[in-house]
């Protein structure tokens, strides 16, 4: 008696053999039909089944010229200065490094001695600071836009990133001497009234350039892992307030780009989303393929001047903008 499990294994083996013959060896569907004694129509169905079950994964590699065309579409659609579009990579870390490389090159082209750069937190901003490349020295000051995070945040801490950028460019950094997260609004207000904190944030507001990460509102959000907010608070903000993303870990916004008032509001110490508006070069960075909706909201806010992301994210943003009216 043949067990169902054995049939399933045999079916998977057959799907794999057919997929290898078609995609790797270059056999036609007619040749596969004769070899395996099945109809050509069934070969087509099995190849589709192999893709649906993940036996076959198809990745499209875009030419750089295609990325340039997408950049022009984004610039026109959202009235931004630049869109730095990295070709799609096979894994998240490679994708982050590709995007970081584009941002690093862009920074090298616009930074001048005496400029102030406001720096956010997170993996994508950190990747820019740690990107290896030949950089001309720039006597710039890198200032934290948000307070410090728990030690386990390590290299994703805004202060660490600021120091690394200062080291990379031969400039200087300024720490925001406050925690990023306050337990309540009263505690936050007390920190914001501190003269040292006020002076640092005043400098950050007057920056020439800003590096900020865009987060998406999932239960796996970076701020949930840090213990700032609970997974339930994030879920409720999404369901009740329509929140799709966060701007640099500070403000939360909906897909229309409007700031949403949630239970998570007024608990982070740093620059608010609107305080980035006067900065002439706000560079929003997000490499993960889970963030197109958050990036759409960020672009619609009018705060972003330069977008840095992947080809697949860029295309999805353009499609979503057509489907979800402002």
Check: CB of residue 171 under 8 Å from CB of residue 142.
Answer: yes
Check: CB of residue 182 under 8 Å from CB of residue 267.
Answer: yes
Helices 292-300 + 64-78 axis angle, to 10: 40
Residue-wise pLDDT for 95-125, tens only, equals 999 999 999 999 999 999 999 999 999 899 9
Asked whether residue 5 carries a pLDDT value surpassing 50, the answer given is: no
Picking from 236, 250, 242, the residue whose alpha carbon sits closest to that of residue 303 is: 250
Residue indicated by tokens 């950190």: 126
Asked whether residue 28 carries a pLDDT value surpassing 60, the answer given is: yes
List the structure tokens of 118.
């406001």
Asked whether residue 24 carries a pLDDT value surpassing 90, the answer given is: no
Average pLDDT of the segment spanning 5-12: 61
Q: Which fold has domain 64-323?
A: Rossmann fold (3.40.50)
Q: Which CATH number fits domain 4-52: 3.90.1690, 1.10.3470, 1.10.10, 1.10.20?
A: 1.10.10
What is the distance between the alpha carbons of residues 282 and 208, in angstroms, rounded to a whole number?
A: 9
Average pLDDT of the segment spanning 88-94: 89
Asked whether residue 302 carries a pLDDT value surpassing 60, the answer given is: yes
CA distances from 78 to 134, 297, 303, 316 (A): 32, 11, 11, 14
Domain extents in the chain: 4-52, 64-323
What is the distance between the alpha carbons of residues 295 and 319, in angstroms, rounded to a whole number?
A: 12
Picking from 277, 269, 228, the residue whose alpha carbon sits closest to that of residue 250 is: 269
Check: CB of residue 140 under 8 Å from CB of residue 111.
Answer: yes
């Amino acid at each position: 008696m043949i067990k169902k499990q054995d049939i399933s294994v045999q079916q998977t083996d057959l799907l794999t053999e057919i997929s290898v013959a078609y995609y790797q060896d270059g056999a036609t569907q007619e040749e596969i039909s004769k070899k395996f004694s099945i109809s050509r129509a069934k070969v087509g169905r099995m190849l589709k089944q192999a893709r649906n079950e993940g036996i076959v994964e198809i990745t499209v590699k875009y030419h750089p010229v295609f990325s340039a065309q997408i950049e022009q579409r984004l610039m026109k659609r959202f009235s931004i200065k630049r869109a730095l579009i990295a070709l799609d990579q096979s894994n998240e870390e490679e994708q982050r490094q590709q995007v970081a490389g584009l941002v690093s090159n862009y920074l090298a082209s616009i930074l001048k001695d005496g400029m102030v750069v406001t720096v956010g937190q997170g993996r994508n901003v950190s990747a820019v600071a740690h990107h290896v490349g030949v950089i001309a020295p720039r006597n710039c000051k890198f200032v934290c836009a948000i307070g410090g995070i728990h030690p386990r945040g390590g290299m994703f801490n805004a202060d660490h990133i600021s120091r690394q950028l200062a080291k990379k460019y031969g400039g200087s950094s300024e720490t925001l001497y406050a925690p990023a997260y306050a337990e309540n609004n009263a505690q936050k207000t007390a920190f914001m009234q501190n003269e040292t904190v006020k002076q640092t944030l005043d400098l950050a507001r007057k920056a020439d350039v800003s590096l900020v990460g865009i987060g998406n509102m999932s239960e796996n959000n970076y701020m949930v892992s840090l213990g700032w907010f609970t997974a339930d608070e994030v879920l409720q903000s999404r369901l009740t307030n329509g929140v799709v993303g966060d701007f640099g870990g500070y403000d939360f916004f909906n897909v229309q780009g409007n700031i949403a008032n949630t239970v998570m509001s007024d608990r982070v110490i740093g620059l608010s989303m609107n305080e980035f508006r006067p900065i002439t070069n706000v560079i929003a960075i997000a490499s993960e393929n889970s963030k197109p909706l958050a990036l759409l909201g960020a672009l619609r806010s009018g705060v972003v001047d330069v977008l840095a992301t992947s080809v697949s994210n860029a295309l999805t943003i353009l499609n979503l903008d057509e489907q979800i009216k402002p």
